[in-house]
Chain A
């Protein structure tokens, strides 16, 4: 299994540009989520999904869109990039949202918005 994969690893955008961060998992996990990690702060939840066709907002959803058309993929879209969205983005998955399920994280995408 490849686990959780994310592309690209690095990206530089200009203010106002849009882009999609890709996330895929091959473990047949129902639960997937996106976090951002900023210096001096803990990881913060952006959006999550409990299964195909179901998404919900986390702590910091503004400026981001998600969709879940398949179990495997959970892309994160930046609609109009802003410098405040400069961060490292992590995708995570688990078998379900149950308390027993370990979350597995991807390697991250480092995004810089100029």
Chain B
């Protein structure tokens, strides 16, 4: 069974720092990996999607990498801002032979950017 682990569980840094969030998964047979952002009391917003054949994706100050063979992904946030404070979730998509299964999520990293 696929398991997704995110480290650290919580992180607090001063504004302006560059930071890295880590995600690992146990089964490398994935179709894609997505990073989401969740604000308190809100739904999830997709940040980046990396297909299994890709190594990285970039959007603005965000860069996500994928090493499928080692079962790892990182989300790099450059020049952090207080508005980046949120919980960041990593999820992998696995396609089983019987159908199009959903995403398997990690428990998230709760990020606080201090002004």
Give residues in A with beta carbon < 8 Å to B: 4, 31, 33, 35, 40-45, 48, 50, 56, 58, 90, 92, 97, 99-100, 102-108
Contact = CB atoms under 8 A, between A and B. Distances in A.
7 contacts: A43-B103, A56-B99, A92-B44, A92-B102, A105-B43, A105-B44, A105-B45
Q: How large is the interface on B (under 10, 10 to 19, 20 to 34, 35 or more residues)?
A: 20 to 34
Interface of B: 4, 31-32, 34, 36, 41-46, 49, 51-52, 89, 91, 93, 95, 98-108
Given A41-B107, A102-B34, A31 B42 contact: no
A44 B4 CA distance: 12
A41 B6 CA distance: 12
A42 B88 CA distance: 11
Contacts of B105: 35, 42-44
Contact of A99 (B44, B46, B52, B106): B52
